[in-house]
């Protein structure tokens, strides 16, 4: 029969803790695919019918003929989450022995097209389930063309929990509230308006936290800094958002500023997360101000507020580091965990049954780790995006929780909403889960409360070498800017602070989903760092002369920075024809101006030499280097040469005089 080979539709590509791919209710053949989405998370309620939406897609090369959907319900609850996920991933090829609860007609579908068809399982058909044991069931949906040539079977989860059941399972969530990827380390006012307005990414997290008071919010301090630093330019929606967040009972985990990519930084040589050096001169254009680039800018002379004041918040006492999944090495765990814990995906650990039974808290060596279940996390993320795939994922998530509650295979699940996830329906999803009396919300203290966490092993991740190499260049470039900042006699923050913020922005974990964009941003940052350090330089000099025994070499230094600098010029000669007594001169160079460093020298012998000039900070950090060809005309050699020439001239004069007097003497005698 054509299309007998069944393939699971890869709508959620993650690996479950039980070793299965976490799939919404979907199945496909070479000719068609089905996505099955029960209403309301697939929860069967007393005296209520259950609606089901099914999206049929023509994945073949020919028109998919009209056909019919048949809905069949397995009355027996599944024994485990593994059994449920197995059925959804690989449904049976035949539905023998299952009674058809409902049917629905499907029109013909062109190549690449889709049709969504709805059906209803009546409350009468569900009566039997309402008197049976609690748990998750499998709903099978079969599509057949009218001629029977194509047949597809998909499975979904539906849940019935008895009113008096004592079965329950814990469920905790981590919600990221982040600044978007950028190159300034701050969010401009116009972007704040988009994010904080109703339906914006920040606003959705606020709504989700309201829906689940036990959810843990992983908050990026750059969000706080951006809104507070915007001052009068801050959108009212952004100000209201911070005020409403502050009124929530949820726990807040402090992420590193700009949600830095912790493992990337460590691989590049950083020993700890970095913070802003300050916010000197930062100002914002208003959200509605017409400007080509409404971004944070540095204003000369404006003193920035302290870092602590703009990032202060009611942070949780529990510290949790959240590295990018798949990148953590064994050497990272201790430094990242410290006195707190490290949040890891279950894909990153070699898990054990004992750990899954005990709950999310585990340990790797002496480091505590919170294990976010990759299946639950992926299903939550897909469900939060909405649409038919989202509803399908939601029913699977509810089914997994119900199966775990009845089987007792785990005390609690932890789901972390991935960075950059579409959270349009997240609040609705968390509200539905929170309404179920058999799902126990778990806040951060409860998740971390186990006295003797089970041991697991880290699988070990990695960061791409090319990405590490780029990060090293970024760290090195910004380090040179900070070293130059030590030479600034005015407000060094005007120069240093914007570059540190730019570094933090480019090293944000948010860039992980856009490697091409990240490399372009990194190149821009590197050019900016070079532009700052290159703003102080040795003015180009032509070949010069050193005449006389003692003299002064004049070297012009220019400064294009908006602040004055104190720099040292050091000189050395390539041979012994020229000697520098001290070899250095310290000079103050005004902002956007130049000055001359004077270095005393002593000429030894005539000839040519190459003088190497080094422009340094007071503590010896090299900023620029140049070489000059110098022609030496030593003072001692000139005196000796003058004396010798004078003596030679005197001897010649004496010789001429004696010759003349010798000729005159015979003539005088003859005359006499």
pLDDT at 507 over 90: yes
**In Å, how far are 133, 163, 413, 485 from 166, measured between CA atoms?**
12, 9, 18, 64
Counted residue by residue, the chain has a size of 672
Of 77-86, 89-98, 610-619, 647-656, the least confident: 647-656
pLDDT band at 473 (very low <50, low <70, confident <90, very high): very high
For residue range 590-639, what is the model confidence (pLDDT) as tens digits?
999 999 999 988 888 888 899 999 999 988 889 999 998 888 887 655 55
pLDDT number for residue 179: 97
For residue range 383-409, what is the model confidence (pLDDT) as tens digits?
999 999 999 999 999 999 999 999 999
The two beta strands, 454-455 and 361-364, are parallel
pLDDT number for residue 436: 96
For residue range 339-383, what is the model confidence (pLDDT) as tens digits?
999 999 999 999 999 999 999 999 999 999 999 999 999 999 999
pLDDT number for residue 298: 45
pLDDT at 326 over 90: yes
Q: How far apart are CA 424 and CA 387, in angstroms?
A: 10
Which has the higher per-residue pLDDT, 124 or 107?
107
Say what the pTM is: 0.86
pLDDT at 26 over 60: no
Q: How far apart are CA 440 and CA 435, in angstroms?
A: 10
Give which of 261, 18, 256, 28 is closest to 141, Cα–Cα: 28
pLDDT band at 497 (very low <50, low <70, confident <90, very high): very high
For residue range 512-538, what is the model confidence (pLDDT) as tens digits?
989 999 999 999 999 999 999 999 999
- State phi, psi for 635 to the nearest 5 degrees: -65, -45
pLDDT number for residue 22: 43
CB-based burial label for 239 (10 Å; 0-12, 13-18, 19+):
middle
Degrees to nearest 5, angle at CA 131 with 126 and 137: 55
DSSP 148: S
CB-based burial label for 105 (10 Å; 0-12, 13-18, 19+):
exposed
Which residue has 């990519």 as its token pair? 261
pLDDT at 478 over 70: yes
Task: Yes or no: say if 538 and 611 are a contact pair by the CB < 8 Å rule.
Answer: no
DSSP 142: E
Of 198-202, 238-242, 448-452, the least confident: 448-452
Mean pLDDT across 44-62:
93
For residue range 253-288, what is the model confidence (pLDDT) as tens digits?
999 999 999 999 999 999 999 999 999 967 776 655
Mind giving me the DSSP string for 220-279? -HHHHHHHHHHGGGS-HHHHHHHHHHHT---EEEEPPGGGB-HHHHHHTT-SS----S--
Task: Yes or no: say if 63 and 111 are a contact pair by the CB < 8 Å rule.
Answer: yes
Mean pLDDT across 549-554:
84
Task: Yes or no: say if 174 and 415 are a contact pair by the CB < 8 Å rule.
Answer: yes
For residue range 574-594, what is the model confidence (pLDDT) as tens digits?
988 888 888 899 999 999 999
Which has the higher per-residue pLDDT, 617 or 21?
617
Task: Yes or no: say if 93 and 150 are a contact pair by the CB < 8 Å rule.
Answer: no
Q: How far apart are CA 381 and CA 375, in angstroms?
A: 10
pLDDT number for residue 31: 86
For residue range 159-192, what is the model confidence (pLDDT) as tens digits?
999 877 889 999 999 999 999 999 999 999 999 9
Q: How far apart are CA 177 and CA 210, in angstroms?
A: 14
Task: Yes or no: say if 140 and 98 are a contact pair by the CB < 8 Å rule.
Answer: yes
pLDDT at 13 over 50: no
Starting at the edge strand found earlier in the chain, the sheet holding 544-547 runs 544-547, 622-633, 607-616, 565-573, 584-589
Q: Half-sphere exposure of residue 355, counting CA atoms within 13 Å on the CB side?
A: 23
**In Å, how far are 199, 370, 580 from 18, measured between CA atoms?**
35, 17, 75
Q: How far apart are CA 273 and CA 598, in angstroms?
A: 43
Q: How far apart are CA 631 and CA 609, in angstroms?
A: 7
Which has the higher per-residue pLDDT, 431 or 147?
431
pLDDT number for residue 14: 30
Average pLDDT score, the chain? 88
265 Rama class: left (phi>0) / alpha (psi -120 to 50) / beta: alpha
Residue 21 has which token pair?
């791919």
pLDDT at 7 over 70: no
DSSP 304: P
């Amino acid at each position: 029969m054509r299309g007998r080979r069944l393939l699971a539709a890869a709508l959620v590509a993650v690996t479950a803790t039980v070793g299965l791919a976490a799939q919404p209710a979907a199945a496909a053949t070479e000719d068609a695919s089905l996505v099955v989405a029960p209403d309301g998370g697939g929860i069967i309620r007393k005296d209520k019918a259950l609606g089901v939406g099914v999206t049929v897609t023509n994945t073949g090369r020919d028109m998919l003929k009209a056909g019919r959907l048949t809905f069949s319900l397995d009355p027996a609850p599944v024994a485990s989450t593994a059994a449920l996920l197995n059925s959804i991933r690989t449904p049976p090829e035949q539905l023998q022995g299952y009674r058809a609860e409902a049917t629905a007609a499907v029109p013909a579908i062109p190549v690449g097209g889709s049709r969504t068809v709805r059906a209803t399982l009546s409350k009468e058909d569900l009566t039997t389930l309402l008197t049976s044991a609690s748990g998750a069931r499998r709903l099978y949906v079969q599509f057949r063309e009218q001629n029977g040539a194509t047949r597809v079977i998909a499975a979904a989860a539906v849940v019935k929990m008895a009113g008096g059941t004592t079965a329950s399972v814990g469920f905790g969530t981590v919600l990221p509230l982040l600044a978007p990827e950028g190159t300034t380390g701050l969010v401009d006012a116009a972007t704040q308006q988009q994010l904080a307005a109703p339906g914006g990414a920040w606003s959705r997290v606020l709504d989700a936290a309201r829906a689940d008071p036990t959810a843990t919010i992983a908050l990026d301090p750059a969000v706080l800094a951006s809104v507070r630093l915007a001052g009068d330019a801050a959108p009212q929606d952004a100000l209201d958002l911070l005020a409403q967040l502050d009124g929530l009972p949820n726990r807040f985990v402090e992420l590193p500023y700009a949600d830095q990519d912790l493992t990337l930084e460590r691989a590049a040589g950083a020993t700890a997360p970095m913070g802003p050096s300050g916010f000197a001169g930062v100002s914002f254009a208003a959200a509605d101000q017409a400007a080509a680039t409404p971004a944070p800018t540095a204003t000369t002379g404006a003193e920035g507020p302290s870092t602590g004041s703009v990032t202060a918040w009611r942070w949780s006492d529990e510290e949790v580091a959240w590295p990018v999944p798949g990148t953590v090495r064994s050497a990272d765990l201790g430094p990242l965990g410290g006195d707190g814990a490290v949040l890891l995906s279950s894909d990153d650990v070699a898990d054990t049954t004992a750990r899954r039974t005990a709950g999310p808290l585990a340990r790797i060596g002496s480091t505590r780790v919170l294990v976010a279940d990759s299946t639950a996390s992926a299903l939550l993320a897909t469900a939060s995006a909405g649409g038919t795939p989202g509803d399908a994922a939601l029913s699977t998530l509810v089914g997994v929780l119900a199966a775990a509650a009845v089987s007792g295979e785990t005390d609690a699940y932890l789901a972390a909403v991935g960075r950059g996830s579409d959270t349009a329906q997240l609040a609705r999803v968390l509200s539905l889960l929170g309404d179920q009396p058999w799902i126990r919300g778990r806040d951060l203290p409860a998740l971390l409360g186990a006295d003797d966490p089970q041991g697991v092993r880290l699988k070990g991740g990695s960061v791409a070498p090319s990405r590490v190499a780029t990060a090293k260049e970024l760290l090195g470039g910004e380090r040179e800017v900070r070293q130059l900042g030590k030479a600034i006699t005015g407000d060094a923050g005007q120069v240093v602070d914007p570059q540190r913020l730019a570094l933090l922005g480019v090293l944000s974990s948010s860039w992980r989903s856009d490697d091409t964009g990240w490399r372009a941003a990194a190149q821009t940052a590197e050019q900016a760092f070079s532009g700052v350090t290159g703003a102080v330089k040795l003015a180009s000099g032509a070949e010069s002369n050193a005449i006389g025994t003692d003299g002064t070499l004049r070297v012009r230094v220019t400064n294009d920075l908006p602040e004055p600098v104190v720099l040292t010029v050091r000189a050395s000669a390539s041979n012994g024809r020229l000697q520098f007594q001290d070899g250095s001169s310290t000079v103050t160079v005004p902002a956007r101006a130049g000055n001359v460093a004077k270095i005393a020298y002593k000429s030894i012998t005539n000839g040519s030499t190459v003088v190497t000039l080094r422009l340094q900070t007071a503590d010896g950090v090299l900023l620029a280097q140049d070489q000059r060809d110098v022609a030496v005309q030593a003072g001692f050699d000139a005196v000796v040469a003058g004396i010798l020439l004078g003596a030679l001239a005197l001897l010649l004069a004496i010789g001429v005089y004696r010759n003349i007097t010798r000729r005159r003497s015979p003539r005088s005698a003859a005359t006499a």
